[in-house]
């Protein structure tokens, strides 16, 4: 019986020792848990900001692509003879097309970073008037829209990226 009591007491003392070690181990692990959380949090935030930055870049490219087509359509229906049938106030000039593009800029797109280039290429076999009159019916209008995109988050590249799109259409009237 005495042996049983002694062994129980020894076991109890060993358990106290284990309890002390486990609480000491838990205190030591608090710092490592905080460190692991900080590292994972930094990685997670970098990924989220990167996804948001590239989403904004895709948004800007989508705008550039669509506005080039819209401006070309607008220029094709506002040719040199549109004032004769009262479908427009005046024929579209390159500065009018540039203003049209900049007025379509949605939130998140800086109009000052948009560059519009309008050309009226002479196509082989096209109407002879295209050589003398830029926006005559049957001639071609080519609108190229460029946008200087800057990432807004500090962890991404800071040099601007030039996004551009062009569209070509035959002038209707």
Q: Which residue has the higher pLDDT, 93 or 15?
A: 93
The lowest-confidence range among 34-38, 69-73, 97-101, 144-148 is 34-38
Nearest to 71 by CA among 100, 114, 31: 100
β-pairing verdict for 140-149 and 114-119? antiparallel
Find the length of the chain.
173
Nearest to 158 by CA among 149, 171, 168, 167: 149
Please write the tens of the pLDDT for every residue from 102-114: 999 999 999 999 9
Question: Could you please report the per-residue DSSP string of 2-55?
Answer: HHHHHHHHHHHHHHHHHHHHHHHHHHHHHHHHHHHHHHHHHHHHHHHHHHHHHH
Tokens standing for 103? Answer: 């007025």
Question: How far is 171 from 69, CA to CA, in rounded Å?
Answer: 13
Is this structure's pTM higher than 0.85? no
Q: Which residue has the higher pLDDT, 29 or 83?
A: 83
Query: pLDDT value at position 115?
Result: 96
Give me the phi and psi of 51, to 5 degrees please.
Answer: -65, -45
User: For residue 128, what pLDDT band results from cuts at 50, 70 and 90?
Assistant: confident
- The answer to whether 67 touches 111, Cβ cutoff 8 Å, is no
């Amino acid at each position: 019986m005495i042996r049983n009591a002694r062994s129980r007491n020894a076991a109890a003392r060993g358990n106290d020792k284990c309890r002390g070690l486990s609480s000491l181990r838990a205190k030591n692990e608090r710092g490592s848990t905080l460190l692991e959380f900080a590292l994972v949090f930094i990685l997670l935030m970098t990924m989220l900001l990167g996804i948001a930055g590239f989403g904004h870049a895709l948004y800007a490219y989508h705008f550039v692509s669509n506005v080039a087509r819209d401006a070309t359509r607008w220029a094709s229906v506002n040719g040199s003879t549109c004032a004769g049938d009262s479908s427009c106030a005046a024929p579209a000039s390159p500065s009018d097309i540039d203003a049209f593009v900049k007025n379509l800029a949605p939130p998140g797109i800086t109009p000052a970073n948009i560059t519009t280039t309008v050309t009226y290429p002479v196509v082989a076999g096209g109407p002879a008037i295209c050589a003398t009159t830029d926006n005559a019916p049957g001639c071609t209008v080519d609108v190229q829209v460029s946008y200087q995109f800057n990432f807004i988050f500090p962890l991404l590249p800071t040099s601007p990226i030039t996004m551009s799109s062009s569209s070509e259409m035959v002038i209707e009237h």
